[in-house]
Copies of this chain bind each other. A is one copy, B any other.
């Protein structure tokens, strides 16, 4: 069947544990996945390496990448650009790796629009009660922190329906396997295997002709 990787965007509630989840997925199946590396104009922090945490570029270089259409999506936060270079993603996809991209909902929907085959996964705690617990914290947070988390969660929840799957993060170990199974399963979707279907149809027609 189709050996090409799937571009997989992971979003989710803050505190859903999606970072840990993806790290574990990549650690368990290093041959199956590649984590997309973003480009940014912000300064590297101590310990960060170019090409590992980020591709560090100048503002000028970044704006040239925008102009040349070399970014799948990008956004600007606090005077710094962040974006997803197309080249790296396409290389990994054609190597047959599923490329994992962690971005928030606005970016996710932009990616899906540009690449309709993108798989959108949304990571959520198992219940509203559990989400509430994580948002409110242990009673040591200020009202401002809680209010800001709540507003953010409301925004995040608004887009859940547009994702293909919900990944319920109750127990890390089970959840990693679930995510892996879902992505593997997606490889079997018929719309991802048009060449396979075309070959079978053509061979059948050919055989009919040879009769």
Contacts and interface: CB of A to CB of B under 8 A. Distances in A.
Contact of A164 (B182, B189, B202): B189
A128 B203 contact: yes
A200 B205 CA distance: 52
Contacts of A200: 124, 127-128, 131, 157, 160
The interface size bin for chain A is 35 or more
A185 B180 CA distance: 10
A184 interface: yes
Contacts of A32: none
Interface stretch (A34-42, A54-62, A89-97, A146-154): A146-154
A165 B181 contact: no
A132 interface: yes
A178 B161 CA distance: 26
Given A127-B199, A128-B202, A128-B204, 5 more contacts: A129-B203, A143-B211, A161-B197, A181-B184, A185-B186
Counting every copy of the chain, the complex holds 2
Given A181-B184, A199-B128, A211-B147, A204 B166 contact: no
B203 A1 contact: no
30 contacts: A1-B168, A127-B199, A128-B204, A129-B203, A131-B204, A132-B203, A136-B207, A143-B211, A147-B211, A150-B204, A150-B208, A154-B204, A157-B200, A158-B201, A160-B197, A160-B200, A161-B190, A161-B194, A161-B197, A164-B190, A165-B189, A165-B190, A166-B190, A166-B196, A168-B188, A178-B185, A178-B188, A182-B188, A185-B185, A185-B186
